[in-house]
Chains A and B, each alone.
Chain A
């Protein structure tokens, strides 16, 4: 009597952790692009970086339900710390990454107490405020950051003493993509773990989450710090691969862009950030080639269409790729048309 139920239950629980075919293909294509499209590596590097930044935002927004309009705060701090580390301490890129991650995590810890206090609107304003404050500090502290001129003179050693950065961006892209991949795997582990599940439960119903013994505040602080570290690393990658940091890393549009990326790709499944980054950057590249001055108009239009038409409908076809293997489960019926709530 017991064994079949046990097996089914265990299988159903572990199912989410398994890699789907679509995912494997995604990463194979990503790494294959290292050997093709050499003239696009600078752009692909940017995509990898904004993708990592979006994964970071997805961790708090998509999984824990924390909205943020100031996620650039962590990105910017990571960028400056990586830049300053390279300039004053060591040119070893990985050391810069670690320093950036540590600084961003610390900032995440400190600001989490402000952010987690309120409801959505409060959070939007507080995150926005924190990013603006940091932006102004970076502007004023020009002795350290270079202010409006940007932080210059960043020189990096070869990665692990072996891989020299080249002008085509190939090493840079390989570096960013590898970091993205490693951190993505980590994030993927996190979101299907009990810890990740508890975040989803907090997002869905924090009252009940507390009622089954989940320390809501501590969990949110933890994921906020993790997301901050991710964003810091993304910022560090930008600083290292462009060997320059400008005030732009803390700018409001950076926080807005990454939110846009998530809206395009979809929240709450990690790949949304990556898909969104690809679409966003390619669109930006394509549109700014067509109309250098008005590309933002078209991006805006795409966004409006996306939200009105509902991304669900647009991506329904693509979705099938990620979720296919679950159909094999004999006993469990195919999730009946999951009647999505229709806006009226």
Chain B
């Protein structure tokens, strides 16, 4: 079966530093896959290669079998590869409504519409409401994003990516910095993402990794160190050794 997302010999060098070292990785269809690794392991570089922010030095990236190595970030999004950011990348002056409306109308091909406001298209409104309900943003839709509680901003971060109707969703530490009180709401929406979306989770928080993922890959010094089921990786003494000195979040 063709993988949802696959890299073949992916490599990224910055001068003498090899940030991504010959990574061949498969994200299966419908997978809940976690990518972990100590700080500086190259997780962020890997994500930036996948999403097209950085061009790779060598190797290929396939999205559902199609080569996307040379596509621009926005073209990859249109092909169905969306991401969230570890540090919120939102539009502070806009409302969640506008943010979602923008993403939805962009996907439905209305991004060049200049003669009418977004709300005049029924299908777009329907979809905004559906996404807002899924991510529990209905009650704050019309507030300035900058004024939202941090937990709501994190939800919007995921909702905006989800509004692109991705086939593959890359979640970069979705729960980072979310206070305990708002955490539950966020984890629940992540857990209930539809199964036809394949998810790659980049995460530090082992609780979240173990509760969410069914496979785990470990990245160390830019290279894939090991990969396996949650059971295999969590009991692997070598992985524990790698994390020695790293605080594994309780």
Q: Is B181 an interface residue (CB 8 A)?
A: no
Chain A: residues with Cβ within 8 Å of the partner, total of 43
Which residues 76-112 in B have Cβ within 8 Å of A in the complex?
Answer: 77-78, 82-83, 85, 89-95, 97-99, 101-103, 105-107, 110-112
Q: For the complex, give the distance between the alpha carbons of A198 and B105 in Å.
A: 10
Q: Which residues of B contact A196 (CB under 8 A)?
A: 114
Residue in B89, B128, B141, B144 whose CB lies within 8 Å of A208: B89
Q: Which residues of A contact B133 (CB under 8 A)?
A: 5
Question: Are A193 and B77 interface neighbours, CB within 8 A?
Answer: no
Q: What is the interface of chain A mostly: helix, strand, loop, or mixed?
A: helix
Least Cβ distance of B74 to chain A in Å? 5
Q: Which of B7-15, B23-31, B119-127 contacts A (4 or more CB under 8 A)?
A: B119-127
Q: Which residues of B contact A189 (CB under 8 A)?
A: 114-116
Least Cβ distance of B94 to chain A in Å? 7
Least Cβ distance of B63 to chain A in Å? 14
Question: Are A9 and B74 interface neighbours, CB within 8 A?
Answer: no
Least Cβ distance of B33 to chain A in Å? 20
Which residues 56-81 in B have Cβ within 8 Å of A in the complex?
Answer: 72-74, 77-78
Question: Are A6 and B129 interface neighbours, CB within 8 A?
Answer: yes
Q: Which residues of A contact B92 (CB under 8 A)?
A: 204
Q: Which of A10-18, A75-83, A105-113, A317-325 contacts B (4 or more CB under 8 A)?
A: A10-18
Q: Is A207 an interface residue (CB 8 A)?
A: yes
Question: Are B119 and A10 interface neighbours, CB within 8 A?
Answer: yes
Q: Is A335 an interface residue (CB 8 A)?
A: yes
- Report if A190-B51 is in contact (Cβ < 8 Å); known contacts: A11-B119, A214-B106: no
Question: Are A207 and B89 interface neighbours, CB within 8 A?
Answer: yes
- Report if A14-B111 is in contact (Cβ < 8 Å); known contacts: A210-B74, A213-B77, A216-B74: no
Question: Are A200 and B93 interface neighbours, CB within 8 A?
Answer: yes
Q: Is A215 an interface residue (CB 8 A)?
A: yes
Q: Which of B157-165, B185-193, B207-215, B237-245 contacts A (4 or more CB under 8 A)?
A: B157-165
* Complex interface bits, A12-30 against B, C-beta within 8 A gives 1, otherwise 0: 1110110000000000000
Q: List the interface of chain A (C-beta within 8 A of B).
A: 2, 5-6, 8-14, 16-17, 189-190, 192-198, 200-201, 204-205, 207-208, 210-216, 219, 222, 329, 331-333, 335-336, 338
